[in-house]
Amino acid sequence: MEGKEQADDQARPSSKRTPLYAQIESYVRDQIRSGKWKPGKRLPSENQLCKQFDVSRITIRGAMDKLVEEGVVFRIQGRGSFVSEEPGAGERAKYALGKGTSDERELQTVAVILPRLWGMLTNSLLAGVERALEPSPYRMMLLTTGDSQEIEEVKLQEALRAGARGLIVYPAEGRTYSEEMLRLTLDRYPIVVIDRYVRGVPTHCVCSDHIAGAYEATEHLLRLGHRRIGFVTTPYEGTTSLEERLEGFRQALNDYGVVLDRNLVLERAEQDAIAAFLAGSSNVTALFAVNESIGQMALHAAEAAGMRVPDDLSVVFFDDYDHADAARIPPTCVAQQGETIGYEAAGRLLSLFADPHQERTMVRIPTRLIVRSSTTAPKSGGKSEAGLEPDHSF
């Protein structure tokens, strides 16, 4: 017990300005210099050090990496870290990037946590992450949550147990708070969230400009002459990307002198519900769907309600998809730059490894409206207004 107290005393900050990883590094050096940890001795595991110092694994890794680099300790895969025979001139980190290369950086992982593996956006996100990581000693570990907040917490823990050096997280829908992510960010563990952010958790974020994308799509419908436009979404409160798309929709309506009718905001993303909504709102001439899957439902629901797209109902939605041009009704949609988002997120994570004390940043990537065959001017009750300019006096 006395030894534990002594270790704890040495583990406590001598100065509030001394980073935790530097304190841990100093502690290990002191144990070796004093002879308590002799050459060849196995060091306590990362989990043991985490508990002893009450810090995350990333902090322990930050201290150990420098000691390995200097040859004070060395690692053996599957066995742990050991005191070098000649501290200061010992064996460097293992697992070189290739035989015969002078670059002996250890390959390590970053975890990418996504709601699901589906669609063009996800594929392009992963391609961007991989492209950014390729020149570095980091590789991607992929985990999925099924868009469940509970599973997301489990996957965060799994990533940490697997030794991930950082996280790129696409948060689950409705995520308003994450105790685990907050704890990690307070401990300066590198996290970058994509698509949406979690309020109250000061993470770095890379996402599409959802407001501008939704504004442009809504403006397209307004300039065609539509005034009764439905907005179809899953429950959006707490999901910042969906909240921002609704805000862009509202701003465009407002700028064109149209008051947002809350009765035209449908929060049930089910085909039957959309069909019933259309049947009960005969004066609706266009729909804006917040994502591609809901957009596809809207197209089918219109057909079920006896409406033709785009003659009776124009439809626009977020997210392009593979071979959309070859669809029976090629859709007008808001395309996100998934590869750019993934590349920027991974680049931001790499910069956090070098400097974990950076101020939080929010990077917004522009979207692009692709106009196809699912939108046209309404048959009646409106007219094309290609020359109309928004009224910003509202």
pLDDT tens across 146-172, in order? 999 999 999 999 999 999 999 999 998
The angle, 0 to 180 degrees and rounded to 10, between the axes of the packed helices 46-53 and 20-33 is 110
Higher pLDDT, 173 or 229: 229
Q: List every span in the chain annotated with CATH 1.10.10.10.
A: 2-83
The 10s digit of each residue's pLDDT in 325-368 is 999 999 999 999 999 999 999 999 999 998 888 888 999 999 99
pLDDT at 14 (0 to 100):
44
Confidence of residue 75 (pLDDT cuts 50, 70, 90): confident
Residue 5 in this model has a pLDDT that exceeds 50: no
Closest CA to 120 of 291, 303, 305: 291
Higher pLDDT, 383 or 352: 352
pLDDT at 36 (0 to 100):
85
Residue 51 in this model has a pLDDT that exceeds 80: yes
For the chain, where are the alpha helices, taking DSSP H only?
A: 2-11, 20-33, 46-53, 57-70, 119-133, 149-161, 179-186, 210-224, 240-255, 271-279, 292-304, 338-354
Q: How far apart are alpha carbons 63 and 66 in whole angstroms? A: 6
Q: How far apart are alpha carbons 178 and 188 in whole angstroms? A: 15
Q: CATH code for 2-83?
A: 1.10.10.10
Residue 13 in this model has a pLDDT that exceeds 50: no
pLDDT at 338 (0 to 100):
97
Higher pLDDT, 69 or 252: 252
Q: Which range, of 43-57, 163-177, 292-306, averages the lowest pLDDT?
A: 43-57
pLDDT at 105 (0 to 100):
54
Q: How far apart are alpha carbons 303 and 287 in whole angstroms? A: 13
Average predicted confidence (pLDDT) for the chain: 85
The residues, any chain, with a CB within 8 Å of residue 150's CB and separated by 6 or more, are none
Confidence of residue 78 (pLDDT cuts 50, 70, 90): low
**Beta strands 368-370 and 332-335: pairing type?**
antiparallel
The residues, any chain, with a CB within 8 Å of residue 116's CB and separated by 6 or more, are 122, 144, 145, 146, 147
| Beta partners for residue 265, in sequence order | 231
- Neighbouring CB atoms inside 10 A of 286's CB total 26
The residues, any chain, with a CB within 8 Å of residue 51's CB and separated by 6 or more, are none
CB 350 within 8 A of CB 341: no
For 48-86, give one letter per residue: b (16+ CB within 10 A) or e: ebbebbebbbbbbbbbbbebbebbbbbbeeeeebbbbee
Taking the alpha carbons of 239, 197, 333, 144 in that order, is the dihedral positive or negative? negative
Residue 81 in this model has a pLDDT that exceeds 90: no
Closest CA to 115 of 164, 168, 166, 161: 168
Q: How far apart are alpha carbons 195 and 85 in whole angstroms? A: 49
Confidence of residue 100 (pLDDT cuts 50, 70, 90): very low
Average the pLDDT over 113-117 and give the result.
Answer: 94
pLDDT > 90: percent of the chain: 57
Q: What letter does residue 80 receive in the DSSP assignment?
A: E
Q: How far apart are alpha carbons 149 and 145 in whole angstroms? A: 8
- Which CATH number fits the domain 210-337, given the four candidates 3.30.413.10, 3.40.50.2300, 3.40.50.620, 3.40.190.10? 3.40.50.2300
The residues, any chain, with a CB within 8 Å of residue 25's CB and separated by 6 or more, are 63, 64, 66, 67
Residue 269 in this model has a pLDDT that exceeds 70: yes
Q: How far apart are alpha carbons 363 and 182 in whole angstroms? A: 20
Q: What letter does residue 36 receive in the DSSP assignment?
A: S
pLDDT at 341 (0 to 100):
98
Average the pLDDT over 308-313 and give the result.
Answer: 96
Any idea what the Cα angle at residue 51 is, between residues 48 and 54, rounded to 5°? 140
CB 145 within 8 A of CB 115: yes
Confidence of residue 247 (pLDDT cuts 50, 70, 90): very high
Q: List every span in the chain annotated with CATH 3.40.50.2300.
A: 210-337
CB 298 within 8 A of CB 274: yes
pLDDT at 53 (0 to 100):
85
Average the pLDDT over 103-132 and give the result.
Answer: 88
pLDDT at 32 (0 to 100):
87
